[in-house]
Amino acid sequence: MEFYDGPTLRRNIEQRDEANIPAELKGYRNEKYFPKSADYVLARVDLGNISTSDAPELARKQALAVLLAASLHSGGKGKAWRDTGSHIHAMNESIVSETFSRRPDTPMPTFDLDPLAFGIDEVLPKISSHLPLVDQSLDELLQALDIWDRAKRLDGASAVLLNVRIIELVCSYDSGIDWVTFCRRFRPAWILNEMLWSLRKGFDEADALSALLSNGSQDRVQQIINSVSKSEKGMVYCDTEVGLALLDQLAAEFTSGDITGYRVNALARQFSTHYQLGEYRRVLNGRWCRALNRLERVRNAITHGGPVTEQVLASVSPFSRKLAGRVLGYSLGAIFEGRDIPQAMNEVHTRGIAWEKEALTASSASEFLFGRG
């Protein structure tokens, strides 16, 4: 499978630049029907020597599978990839059929453009051995990932039910266990991820709000942000270990007298010692247990037609979405790496318990979050 930048390919066809045109499009004359947008991509899917009643639909399914899997490695905000419903079907380098739609037909999940391109690079080597899709588990999980993405645009009750259905699907690969017990395995990992995410979010907020500071403070904050941020393949990551070490320096640039400075300094206090982090862990642990119990009650109430208020749905919907997305990521990662899904889930649980035990005996904030290694 190959992906082509649409405007570039169209220009190459118009200019008859045959060195940069797929063999089946040499001599092609209908490029005028390509989308007018400056941002579109053509996926070239080689199905090989197979017999199928609907090659374009099978190829579309393969492309969607790659994009869904790639979405696990993408992030940020940007424009969306959508299926136009169009295709060009070629056999032996000769076009046998083509269709064009002027507006989107069956839209794909709204993935971010540039980050998804990074995700495709990451996932193609892993998913290529599974194409065409014959692995039922992978097919089910990719469909679930599609549903999970669409669920964010649904109302509260529908979104919560779909997220729980996804969790139940992943849970079904681990026989003899109910979905609530299954979810409890991820409590330690969830707590650690929430801690690291709040640390990263603090740096993002400080970066955005530094415009309110004096020029000298702005420069120093930017130096700290640059030290914490690292770029790889067009994506920007936050090195939370470096961030923790520089958090006091960041907080020193903000005064506690305004809301901006208060939040940054509060974050620095929260991550200042292993004692403070231990208290934060206890708070998150209680929050996790209450959220999971509430999610179980709400799911049962919706299923059996009981009354559920919008406020209650709003209190569990983000948690159910994050939990469903996380277990999907764990299970798809296991398949791509050739591992057993229950084994991968147990490894997540084991790592989480190991972190929790080490954190309880840590002697510094760094040891609490990142261990003694």
Q: Ranked by mean pLDDT, which of 20-29, 241-250, 331-340 comes out on top?
A: 241-250
DSSP 3-state of 99: strand
Contacts of 226 (CB under 8 A, 6+ apart): none
Average pLDDT of span 267-295? 94
* 364 DSSP assignment: S
Contacts of 202 (CB under 8 A, 6+ apart): 247, 263, 264, 267
Confidence (pLDDT) at 96 = 75
Q: Is the pTM of this model over 0.75?
A: no
Average pLDDT of span 96-101? 68
C-beta of residue 229 within 8 angstroms of C-beta of residue 239: yes
Measured torsion, CA atoms of residues 40, 45, 136, 302, in degrees rounded to the nearest 10: 10
Give CA separation, 211 vs 200, 236, 354, in Å. 19, 21, 41
Can you tell me the distance from the alpha carbon of 73 to that of 329, in angstroms, rounded to the nearest whole number?
10
User: Mind listing the pLDDT tens digit for each residue in 171-221?
Assistant: 998 767 899 999 999 999 999 989 998 898 888 888 877 777 788 888 898
Domain boundaries in the chain? 2-134, 135-373
User: Mind listing the pLDDT tens digit for each residue in 61-89?
Assistant: 778 777 777 766 655 443 456 677 788 88
SS3 of the chain: helix, strand, coil, percent, to 5: 65, 10, 25
Confidence (pLDDT) at 276 = 96
Query: For residues 334 and 259, which has the higher predicted lDDT (pLDDT)?
Result: 334
Give CA separation, 121 vs 115, 124, 306, in Å. 10, 6, 46
Judging by beta carbons within 10 Å of its beta carbon (0-12, 13-18, 19+), is residue 62 exposed, middle or buried?
buried
SS3 string, 247-280, reads HHHHHHCCCCCCHHHHHHHHHHHHCCCHHHHHHH
Q: Which of 235, 236, 247, 249 is nearest to 198 (CA)?
A: 247
DSSP 3-state of 185: coil
C-beta of residue 197 within 8 angstroms of C-beta of residue 241: no
Amino acid at 165: R
Can you tell me the distance from the alpha carbon of 363 to that of 74, in angstroms, rounded to the nearest whole number?
35
- pLDDT range class, residue 106, cuts 50, 70, 90: very low
Query: For residues 278 and 94, which has the higher predicted lDDT (pLDDT)?
Result: 278
Kind of pairing between the strands at 111-112 and 80-81: antiparallel
Question: How many CA atoms lie within 13 Å of 175's alpha carbon, on the beta-carbon side?
Answer: 1
Enclosing H/E stretch for 246: helix 240-252
- pLDDT range class, residue 142, cuts 50, 70, 90: confident
- pLDDT range class, residue 288, cuts 50, 70, 90: very high
Q: Is pLDDT of 313 > 90?
A: no
- pLDDT range class, residue 123, cuts 50, 70, 90: low
